[in-house]
Amino acid sequence: MQYRIEKDTMGEVKVPADKYWGAQTQRSKDNFRIGTEKMPIKSIYALTILKKAVAMANYELGVMSKEKADMIKTVCDEILDGKLDDNFPLAVWQTGSATQSNMNVNEVIANRGNHIAGENLLHPNDDVNKAQSSNDTFPTALHICALLAVKDTLIPAMEKLQATFEHLAEEYKDILKVGRTHLQDATPLSLGQEISAWADMIKTDKENIISSLDFIRPVAIGATAVGTGLNAPKGFDELAAKYISELTGENFTPARNKFQSLTSKSPITFVHAGLKALAADLLKIVNDVRFLASGPRSGIGEIIIPENEPGSSIMPGKVNPTQCEALSMVALQVMANDTAITFGASQGNFQLNVYMPLIIYNFMQSVTLLSDGMVSFNDNCAVGIKPNVDVINENLTKSLMLVTALNPVIGYENAAKIAKTAHKNGTTLKEEAINLGILTEEEFNKNMDIRKMVYPHEEA
């Protein structure tokens, strides 16, 4: 491999000749050989959006030449087009302020810009990082990255799964089945009603997550090192936020308290709490699906799910609810990520939080896993859910909790007597209602309207 010599305030460093990063990036790469986790590329793109916005603000404020601002914008566009992805090699496990990733972006922009210009036009600190500190750029990029990932990736995946469940809920609204509470038989409902709960869980989680994004629209840029705004010109924060908004199509504003914006990570923790709530609902949904589909002969077996691959290396013909299992593991990982983010956010010492690489890595992993997991579950399982009508009807007919419909006619105690006797004798509710002399067959048939139990307020 060929190398070139780069210099920083600590001396000379050998850097691969085919890369645009500089000495500070190389030092981080050499000094933090920890794990395989790299800074998410979308966090690099968020930093790049910020660098472009800042160059525009600095030019408008008269502290940067048009030539330099235009060159920064040109290189930023190359990065955002994915042309320089292999120039961002740093580990998540680095300085907790992500200073080295900030400098990685600064160095790539400067060196690539100088290569295009054919001269030393840009300096990574004096120009690309002008009016900034890593302490305010990375918190800002954190908010940009998180908001865009949620809106561009997570929400569409949620809407896709929600739409599938809404379709199934409507399609199966007339299939009546036994309900279950405490894992025991309960009064009936329709399969459509059962699935409608899944649809509304996704819808509610989506609404909560979207509303939580307002808490990460305020950004730290302009705070510089400790929140005072040292070395940033007056009005810089307003202009930078304005240009970030224009570049992203989202509304970002300057943080109302710059000191809070550097040290507190409660806003991003709050948004991730919405992802954790989604994970909890998804885990409930896939558990329902796999138990309702259990069998095929010795389980509940009220629904049939797609058979995608052989389920056993030893048992021929076995098929497993693999999509449910995959999404359940995603849910658990998101819950674990939430714990890591919560602990990281609690460690804001004095004027800075130094767990930001961990926070952005876990946040972005949660968004990616949830988005991919929901799409996979939707396309390979949910869309193919079918009712096993014979099993549904058999279970419904055997259910003792249908006796609840008789409560208004014969009272709770008589109804309980019928149910307990039928269960003891292995007989039907009708047989025991008649045998016990509580109801005639005609009276039983008149009052045992299962659809009326499922849709009690439906007009005849």
> Quick check: is 123 catalytic?
no
- For 292-309, what is each residue's pLDDT tens digit? 999 999 999 999 999 998
- For 64-101, what is each residue's pLDDT tens digit? 999 999 999 999 999 999 999 999 999 999 999 999 99
The whole-angstrom separation of Cα 363 and Cα 213 is 13
**Alpha carbon 424 to chain centroid, angstroms:** 49
- pTM for this entry: 0.96
Longest alpha-carbon distance in the chain: 102
Domain 3-130 has what CATH class? mainly alpha
For position 459, what pLDDT does the model report? Answer: 78
The whole-angstrom separation of Cα 167 and Cα 291 is 21
- For 187-229, what is each residue's pLDDT tens digit? 999 999 999 999 999 999 999 999 999 999 999 999 999 999 9
- For 276-287, what is each residue's pLDDT tens digit? 999 999 999 999
Which residue carries 């926070």 as its tokens? 359
- Give me the residue spans of the domains in the chain: 3-130, 143-176+188-217+259-389, 399-454
The CATH architecture assigned to 143-176+188-217+259-389 reads Up-down Bundle (1.20)
Q: Summarize the confidence of residues 359-372 as an average pLDDT.
A: 98
For position 229, what pLDDT does the model report? Answer: 98
The whole-angstrom separation of Cα 350 and Cα 24 is 26
> Quick check: is 312 catalytic?
yes
What is the fold of 399-454?
Ribonucleotide Reductase Protein R1; domain 1 (1.10.40)
| Catalytic pick among 65, 211, 266, 312 | 312
Q: What percent of the chain has pLDDT over 70?
A: 100
CA distances from 24 to 21, 103, 115, 124, 222 (A): 8, 7, 19, 10, 23
Q: Does residue 1 register a pLDDT over 80?
A: yes
- For 419-453, what is each residue's pLDDT tens digit? 999 999 999 999 999 999 999 999 999 999 999 99
For position 170, what pLDDT does the model report? Answer: 98
DSSP state of 91: B
In the beta sheet, which residues pair with residue 4?
A: 15
Give me the DSSP letters along 186-236: EEEEEHHHHHHHHHHHHHHHHHHHHHHGGGGSEE-TT-TTTSS-TT--TTH
Q: Summarize the confidence of residues 145-150 as an average pLDDT.
A: 98
The whole-angstrom separation of Cα 206 and Cα 283 is 16
Q: What share of the chain is helix, strand, coil (3-state, %, to 5)?
A: 60, 10, 30
Q: Does residue 33 register a pLDDT over 70?
A: yes
Average pLDDT in the chain: 97
- For 156-185, letters b (16+ CB in 10 Å) and e give ebbebbbebbbebbeebbebbbbbbeeeeb
| Catalytic pick among 182, 298, 313, 457 | 182
For position 460, what pLDDT does the model report? Answer: 63
Q: What percent of the chain has pLDDT over 90?
A: 97
